[in-house]
Amino acid sequence: LKTALKDPSLLVSKAFVAGKWVDASDGKTFAVTDPFDGALIANVASLSREDVHKAIDQAEIAQKEWAKRTAKERTKALKAWFDLIIANADDLALILTTEQGKPLAEAKGEVVSNAAYLEWFAEEAKRLDGDIIPGANPGQRIMVIKQPVGVCAAITPWNFPNGMITRKAGPALAAGCSLILKPAAQTPLSALALAVLSERAGIPAGVFSVVPGDAEPIGLEFCHNPKIAKITFTGSTRVGRWLMREASDNIKRLSLELGGNAPFIVFDDADLDAAVDGAMISKFRNAGQTCVCANRIYVQDSVVEAFTEKLLAKVATLQLGRGTDTGTTQGPLIDERAVAKMEEHVNDALQHGAKLMAGGQRSALGGNFYQPTVMTGVTQAMKVAREETFAPLAPIIAFKDEAEVIAMANDSEFGLASYFYAKDMARIFRVSEALEAGMVGVNTGMIANEMAPFGGVKQSGLGREGSKYGIEGFVELKYICLSGI
Ligand code: ADP
């Protein structure tokens, strides 16, 4: 990998603490491998809980200085970081693909589209306006200011190893917080490469740190160290629930971006070709490993056959392979556990009467590859309709009318993304408002961008990333009662 990079210095295996590149105090490391073939890429420093404790002390000192800077200075540093990410996007994409497996074009798309969160929040830093409110009593004014919450801890997943970081670092740093990040064990190299660029951009030492290591001890340190004001997490609902419980002793602020089980609905008045294109993007991007992936595809009775046929034609064009090979549109799944879950959902559906239309098996490529799979005759009771599959499985569930499909779509403890295709304007409003989800894609399968509030309802999480709302989780409101004036 190193020799393939234009700038080999972006590939690092040490942790980044208080502006220094460090090993674990006990010298411990963990292996990072290529999910394509299991080849070793690097042995990365595995920090202990004690190491992270010390890093938090440094992050606290750095935060105080950072918060004193003018918004304009913070804007400048974040913009410089953004510019460096764009300038190095090819290398960052190659590092990402090598440790994560997704096709290179998708990796570059992730890097560039999520760097936009840094650019966006660099601009928002200057707009953290307060309020002056008329006083409740004579001689009084109510003044409201926004202040950074303090030192923030981030825990990010492996499915978007680069993008999930800039989404969190952007608002945190813009608000005047410092951020200490534990990346996923499968994909720490993208995080460390971003740290190299943060240093070059002039983000001061300790304002952004990366502390790879075992999830649980570091998670416990984040939850129980009183110097951490807030935890921002993207990952499974299981871990989110655990963090919330552990963080409750100290009443920590939490943003949680958790699992989803997105319904993707195709009504009889939809443009079917557009719906198929949307389903392909929403279902098969990143081999089905995104939290906003269509998990359940509901198609109205009268168009189910036509939709399925068109979808199968598109699925047949998917090309499995190494992410760096030209033409690859689907890489391997992240690990054996992911393949096993796909298998479990496919087998459960088949046992309960679903019909296999494409795929249904591990790929001949071996390893972590599974064929893109389409099934019809799926019902609400099957595992694939109840749990997040996080793999390239498109289950088609037929429905009769709007009321039925809304009830089925909402019959989930999750509420992250949802999608539907329709033309009738009244229906578009009715269904958008009725879906229990933080986000609704109408006639589109791609909804995330830096200008929109990304997040979920129900057990899909708390808080929003992106947009003017995305910075709110990183500031506290302070009310100053001005009297005697
Ligand atoms: P997935 O099952 O998709 O890997 P996880 O929620 O397990 O999702 O992982 C998301 C992130 O949470 C990763 O960085 C992982 O290391 C971290 N994580 C997992 N378990 C814990 C834990 N007990 N405490 C803190 N972080 C954790």
In the reported structure, the alpha carbon of residue 413 is separated from the centroid of ligand 1 by a whole-number distance in angstroms of 20
| Nearest CA owner, ligand 1 atom 25 | 219
Share of the chain above pLDDT 90, in %: 100
pLDDT at 234 over 90: yes
Segment 13-38 mean pLDDT: 98
Cβ atoms of residues 253 and 82 within 8 Å: no
Asked if the model's pLDDT at residue 168 lies above 90, the reply is yes
Instruction: Ligand 1 pocket test: pick from 186, 239, 246, 293 the residue with the most ligand atoms within 8 Å of its Cβ.
Output: 239
Q: Which of the following is catalytic: 106, 119, 257, 472?
A: 257
What is the rounded average pLDDT of the residues 90-111? 98
Q: Give pLDDT, residue 135.
A: 95
- Confidence category of residue 2, pLDDT binned at 50, 70, 90: confident
Question: Rounded distance, CA 117 to CA 56, Å?
Answer: 24
Residue-wise pLDDT tens digits, 295-347: 999 999 999 999 999 999 999 999 999 999 999 999 999 999 999 999 999 99
* Catalytic status, residue 257: yes
Q: Give the Cα separation of 445 and 270 in Å (integer).
A: 14
Which atom of ligand 1 approaches the CA of 240 most closely?
6
pTM value is 0.97
| 222 — pLDDT class (breaks 50, 70, 90) | very high
Where do runs of H (alpha helix) occur along 226-303?
A: 237-247, 272-284
Q: What is the mean pLDDT of residues 417-429?
A: 98
Q: Residue range 191-200: average pLDDT? A: 98
Report pLDDT digits (tens) over 357-388. 999 999 999 999 999 999 999 999 999 999 99
| C-alpha of residue 245 to centroid of ligand 1, in Å | 15
> Ligand 1: which residues within 6 Å by Cβ?
155-157, 182, 184-185, 215-216, 219, 235-236, 239, 242
User: Given phi > 0 = left and psi -120 to 50 = alpha, else beta, which region is 484?
Assistant: left
Indicate the average pLDDT of the chain.
98
Whole-number Cα distances in Å, 311 to 79, 122, 302, 315, 396: 41, 41, 16, 6, 10
